[in-house]
Amino acid sequence: MLKRLEIDLRRRLKAPVSLASARAPLAEDQLDFTTRQRLTGFTTAERRNQWLRGRSALMAIAAKLDIEPRLAALNPPCPGISLTHGERISIAAGISPAQGIGIYFGSWRQIEASLLRCFLTEAEQEQLTVQSNFTRLRLWTVKQALFKASAVNRGLRLTDFEIDEVAEITGRARNCSRANSQLRCTSFMLRQGLLSIAIED
Ligand SMILES: CC(C)(COP(=O)(O)OP(=O)(O)OC[C@H]1O[C@@H](n2cnc3c(N)ncnc32)[C@H](O)[C@@H]1OP(=O)(O)O)[C@@H](O)C(=O)NCCC(=O)NCCS
């Protein structure tokens, strides 16, 4: 499934994006000293497992990109690598370390129309003539992916990003808080939800 997704993703974004997934947590003895310290901060076993599963996906993407599998350096937000968690799977996306990338999975759920103004700009809301929950959830995942693709995103809001054509499944966007910032983004419908990926140009 992931191989097909990766081929389609590369075709859509016209970029050598790699994907890697993990369904099982990384064994704790594979953590380095710094990374192991993070484990003490988790209060639930669920989050601890999710985090370890995420480290497994990060190790897999490092192997695919042929970069040093040093977890402390791979920890998002970092340029060139992004990570998202589904209920039972974690997916990492990677590209060249000089380029920002963001991946976000949103499981099927209701996104109320009243929430749109929290993550869409006024121009984007005006474009939305026909609305469905599918579109609202898709745009939510795209906005999160765009946010993650900006390696320096502290303090940014989802409305700092603007999608050119909200109706397009694959399209362009920009970070309005930065001059000349161009991004490309696309979404995939999976059985459990929607997966969006964005890259910085
Ligand atoms: C950072 C953010 C995108 C993470 O979303 P999430 O719901 O936890 O979803 P995901 O499973 O897709 O992503 C989690 C992973 O993102 C990565 N991540 C965390 N902060 C990040 C950041 N600032 N930038 C990029 N990636 C980040 C981490 O790898 C994290 O997994 P880990 O903690 O196990 O390592 C989200 O918390 C956020 O801040 N969004 C933007 C602001 C927003 O949504 N505002 C609400 C407006 S209505």
| Atom 6, ligand 1: residue with shortest CA distance | 84
**Alpha carbon distances (Å) from 1 to 19, 112, 190, 198:** 11, 31, 10, 20
Q: Relative to the CA of 76, which ligand 1 atom is closest?
A: 29
Mean pLDDT on 162-167: 97
Q: Relative to the CA of 82, which ligand 1 atom is closest?
A: 26
Closest CA to 140 of 112, 180, 175, 98: 112
What domain range is 39 assigned to?
A: 2-200
In a 3-state reduction of DSSP, which class is residue 174?
strand
Whole-angstrom Cα distance, residue 122 to residue 47? 36
> Is a pLDDT exceeding 80 seen at residue 14?
yes
Q: Give me the phi and psi of 122, to 5 degrees please.
A: -60, -40
**Alpha carbon distances (Å) from 119 to 122, 146, 156:** 10, 11, 11
The answer to whether the Cα torsion of 67, 69, 75, 81 is positive or negative is positive
What pLDDT shows up at residue 76? Answer: 82
CATH number assigned to the domain comprising residue 28: 3.90.470.20
> Is a pLDDT exceeding 90 seen at residue 1?
no
* pLDDT tens digits along 24-69: 999 999 998 888 888 888 999 999 999 999 999 999 999 999 998 8
Task: Quote the ligand 1 centre to 84 CA distance (angstroms).
Answer: 8
What residues have CB less than 8 Å from 78, skipping those under 6 apart?
A: 151
Pocket test for ligand 1, best of 55, 81, 88, 144 (most atoms within 8 A of CB): 144
Mean pLDDT on 135-160: 95
What pLDDT shows up at residue 131? Answer: 84
What pLDDT shows up at residue 43? Answer: 93
> Is a pLDDT exceeding 90 seen at residue 180?
no
Mean pLDDT over the full length of the chain: 94
* pLDDT tens digits along 73-105: 888 888 899 999 999 999 999 998 889 999 999
Contact (Cβ atoms closer than 8 angstroms) between residue 65 and residue 18:
yes
Q: Relative to the CA of 103, which ligand 1 atom is closest?
A: 12
Mean pLDDT on 165-180: 95
> Is a pLDDT exceeding 80 seen at residue 151?
no
> Is a pLDDT exceeding 90 seen at residue 176?
yes
Domain count, the chain: 1
CA dihedral 139, 3, 32, 30 (to 10 degrees): 130
Pocket test for ligand 1, best of 74, 75, 84, 154 (most atoms within 8 A of CB): 84
Give the predicted TM-score (pTM) of the model.
0.97
In one-letter notation, the amino acid at residue 130 is V
Whole-angstrom Cα distance, residue 175 to residue 178? 6
Length of the chain: 201
**Counting Cβ atoms within 10 Å, is residue 122 exposed (0-12), middle (13-18) or buried (19+)?**
exposed
Q: In this predicted model, which residue has the larger pLDDT, 180 or 95? A: 95
